[in-house]
Structure 1
Amino acid sequence: MIMDTVKNKLKLIFPSHSENEGLARLAVSGFLASAGADISAVAELKTAVSEGVTNAIVHGYRETPGLVTVELKLFSSGRVRLYIKDKGVGIEDIKKAMEPLFTTAPEEERAGLGFAIMESFCDKLRVKSAPGKGTTVTMEKYIYKRDEP
């Protein structure tokens, strides 16, 4: 049995300002590119990260200041585990929040597709949340090396 060990990791903590969504995308794409991920895997995870970070900023903190944490772990198997964490308002009903087109900010013309997009670009998506304590979104994806068929 081969152990799936952590080969590399990255942790980024930033204020919940919308311009930091771009920072998270750049950090994730740089990390994945240096790990040898193919272009499509990089693009998919960048999009998933954008959605997760935007959810934390817009819905988690609702215009109040806070910190967003993005953490990536690359495993020897080629699996990437990505966490997006906030300590915002939390989610009362995770199942409802994950329904396509559901949004807590309809006045902002939000599409309510964030979780659906994250799920479509990942092999696994888990959401843990508690009202008043924040939310952690965990995504996993196997990336393909550039030199693999």
Structure 2
Amino acid sequence: MQDNMMKIEFSSRSQNESFARVSVAAFVAQLDPTIEEITDVKTAVSEAVTNAIIHGYEEGQGTVRIESYIKEKELTVIVEDEGKGIENVELAMQPLYTSRPDLERSGMGFTVMETFMDKLQVKSERGKGTKIIMKKIFKSLS
């Protein structure tokens, strides 16, 4: 069986974060998720997109891409930017760490993603951007 797939891209503007969250939620609706599962996905996508906008493109504007795949009862969501990248991914993934204390960021984005999804992988290269890969297994598939 071939994966079911959706791709979208949009400008790295904060007002597009809700569009991204709702788009992935609409795509995953075909798995008949529980309210809790759909909320988990929306929250994780929201955090990933916000990171791309605020941290990836802090000095300008760019494009954020989302790819979503469904295979059986597993959702994969990839959020990617071509922004400045993360210098130290391990440090950035620590709870309460933020590279933008001037914006009063909580530093919990990756922790939230890890909490609400079953698997989180972060790939980043300075000057080339960041790719966040998240997976969630849905229990509600009949």
Smaller-chain TM-score bracket: over 0.9
Name 1:70's counterpart in structure 2: 66
Q: How many residue pairs are counted as aligned between the two chains?
A: 142
Instruction: Indicate the structure (1 or 2) with the bigger Cα radius of gyration.
Output: 1
Structure 2 segments unaligned to the other structure (5+ residues): none
Structure 1 residue identity aligned to 2:105: R
Name 1:83's counterpart in structure 2: 78
Structure 1 residue identity aligned to 2:96: L
CA RMSD of aligned residues (A): 1.1
Give 1:8 shift. 1.3
Name 1:106's counterpart in structure 2: 101
Name 2:49's counterpart in structure 1: 53
Match of 2:130 among 106, 127, 135: 135
Any runs of at least 4 consecutive aligned residues in structure 1 with deviations exceeding 4 A, and if so which? none
Q: TM-score, normalised by structure 1?
A: 0.91
- C-alpha distance in structure 2 between counterparts of 1:75 and 1:37, whole Å: 14
8 Å CA contact retained: 1:6, 1:74:
no
8 Å CA contact retained: 1:36, 1:144:
no
Name 1:25's counterpart in structure 2: 21
Identity across the alignment (%):
44
Give 1:6 shift. 3.8
- C-alpha distance in structure 2 between counterparts of 1:23 and 1:108, whole Å: 23
Partner secondary structure for residue 19 of structure 1: helix
